[in-house]
Structure 1
């Protein structure tokens, strides 16, 4: 079953979010320190991923083209509006809306952007192997717990983009081996991991309130890296 790992990953996020809700009333100073710890860990993960690149120019061009497309499409604004809609729908007061939106957007980006999402989904589709996504599910569950204690129940709704994103990759992977050589696929994953890693570093910097990077507008880089890597391989 190609989607087994993705489904388990989603269940872990839901479970972690629900558990985190029971700890949402801890003092603010604890939340602040915990969030700082999460931000530092996220930066470390992103740096490890970013350093995996074998061709830095592919990463640079992917981020530049992705940023242009993202700004043109105003993806960050769209994500925030979606988060605000969720907040308006499920929160009891307008003061909670921003927190719900931040929880949804931040958690979605943390869980979706990363090597394990892509590699795990590809493994599920290509080889019916779910070990990577099962491990990711456990990690995501703990991260969801921590994020929920600081950002609120908006984190719970991040399960929707995670399941959709990984599910689509897994289903496409069942056919991908027929038209993309394994060597090219492996090279693409390396560069995709590096691009995703830099975006994850940006998430960590935002969590620490060091920067206010419009991360949503960088998301097209995850797509443009495939196009740029394909051109690189051909020429």
Structure 2
């Protein structure tokens, strides 16, 4: 009985980042619904720019912890090639457009709000990276920042589209929770150095997300770079064996 309670407590702790994310979406929706169209565009832009800078700092702080720059470099190069060949970013964008178009044509504002917000919160590198980081070493920094971003966008979305945004918290819980638990279940098979290199590769991608959030002319295909996180595993093991 004690062991079972301990396992439940550990599972809840592992999912803390996702739980906070879900709560911020719901609270943001309630606030946005109350405000309706009163949310100032200038305030929104300034807040989003500030959060993007925070995302970039988190990314760099993770990337510089690499113990082998060659692993990080090769992971990004090889991962980028794999991502381009698989066209990950194009497929994710295409899926999002198809789903949104389908539901927008057939349903009212509630479904449109639900689908739009769900895609925004789930189809992104930050959701994947944050969940993996949370599962591997219970580091919630990425998901906490994502929670702030999602809460802010929930205010904006719900002020124009309504309460349907709040229900996007359900797929967020299922999607991010599944990734977190999957990462947690395999972390014992990974060495500390491998986890470090995975986190470093992920941090570099997080930095790219921050750049994209600034809406500059430069757009980094972070989705196509996602394989770099997993490429870091064999590279770290191989190079560690050679040293």
User: By how many angstroms is 1:137 displaced?
Assistant: 6.3
Name whichever structure is richer in helix by fraction: 2
For the pair shown, the structure with the greater C-alpha radius of gyration is 2
Structure 2 contact 17–134 (Cα < 8 Å) conserved: no
The answer for the alignment partner of 1:198 in structure 2 is 204
Q: Which residue does the alignment assign to 1:103? A: 120
2:27–2:151: 8 Å Cα contact kept in structure 1?
A: yes
TM-score where L is the length of structure 2: 0.74
Q: How does 1:10-159 map to 2 (within 5 A)?
A: 10-24=18-32, 25=37, 26-87=39-100, 88-89=102-103, 92=108, 100=117, 103-104=120-121, 108-114=124-130, 117-118=131-132, 120-123=134-137, 132=139, 140-150=146-156, 153=165, 156=169, 157-159=171-173
Separation (CA, whole Å) in 1 of partners of 2:26 and 2:143: 15
Measured after TM superposition, the shift of residue 159 of structure 1 is: 3.6
Structure 1, unpaired ranges of 5+? 124-129
Select between 150-159 and 55-64 the one with higher mean Cα deviation.
150-159
What is the CA–CA distance in structure 2 between the aligned matches of 1:105 and 1:28, rounded to whole Å?
Answer: 24
Residue of structure 2 in register with 1:126 after alignment: none
How many residue pairs get aligned? The number is: 216
Aligned residue for 1:127? none
Task: Determine if contact 1:83/1:101 at 8 Å carries over to the other structure.
Answer: no
Q: Which runs of 5+ in 2 are unaligned?
A: 1-6, 159-164
Q: Deviations over 1:144-187 (max 9, x none)?
A: 312423566497444443212111112234xx35xx5xxxx111
Matched, 1:221 2:228: yes
Q: 1:227 to 1:84 in 2, by over 3 A?
A: same
- Contact 1:3/1:170 (<8 A) preserved: no
Instruction: Tell me the SS of whatever aligns to 2:67.
Output: coil
Q: Closer, same or farther in 2 for the Cα pair 1:34/1:150, shift >3 Å?
A: farther
